[in-house]
Structure 1
């Protein structure tokens, strides 16, 4: 099995599912007890994922402005920011774990996503 098995089209589906989760999960998990920024940063991130996904050149992009490689670079940047958020906002407990887990998931999704050329 190839390490990079997720096609750009399937990556797009993952993006929209992740956006939904980033918007809804903080309310289900009661995120933000220690810091309201933990909740709202997730919601804003979910909205940003929708915007970037709509602007990406892949099957589920509407405007096709951002090349897929640029999209993956943005994903890596977001994962790194998620890893730093608990330190920057002094998050503890579930609030911090939420961002660490999201960071790891985004890093993994990028790691298993194949380039456009692999599926052309």
Structure 2
């Protein structure tokens, strides 16, 4: 059941993208290169895809909402698995898993059609 409106998803996109970018410093793992670069890349990707998505808060509106949601699901899965994929799970893993679960949930629970 998809119950998150696309406008709310857009707000979550920009807030979470900023949080992903700030997280290495907020949560104290900026000195761990792999752990740091994963959320930086995810935050940049989230903000970029949001700017280009065809929904209420998109600026350029070239990416269809279903494609954006697919990107969110893929990003969430990668974020959640990244501590083990990139070998930093013994140093830090919880922020990546939480952010990944959030992105997965947002991608799976958001409506596919924006209100125009």
Structure 1-normalised TM-score? Answer: 0.86
What secondary structure sits across from 2:56 in the alignment?
coil
C-alpha distance in 2 between matches for 1:98 and 1:22 = 9
Name the counterpart of 2:46. 49
**Greater C-alpha Rg:** 1
Q: How many residues align?
A: 116
SS in 1 for 2:62: coil
Q: TM-score, normalised by structure 2?
A: 0.88
Deviations 1:12-43 (A, max 9, x none): 1100000110011220111144x311112212
Report the alpha carbon displacement of residue 101 of structure 1 after superposing the two structures with TM.
1.1
Point out the structure with the larger helix share: 1
Q: SS of 1:65's equivalent?
A: coil
Tell which deviates more after alignment, 81-90 or 48-57.
Answer: 81-90
Matches of 1:38 and 1:68 in 2, distance apart?
29
Structure 1: 5+ residue stretches without partners = none
TM alignment of 1:12-27, pairs within 5 A: 12-27=10-25
Q: Give CA deviations for 1:47-71 in whole Å, capped at 9, x if unaligned.
A: 1111100110001111111000000
Which blocks of at least 5 consecutive residues in structure 2 are unaligned?
none
Q: Which moved more, 1:108-117 or 1:8-17?
A: 108-117
Q: CA deviation at 1:114?
A: 1.5
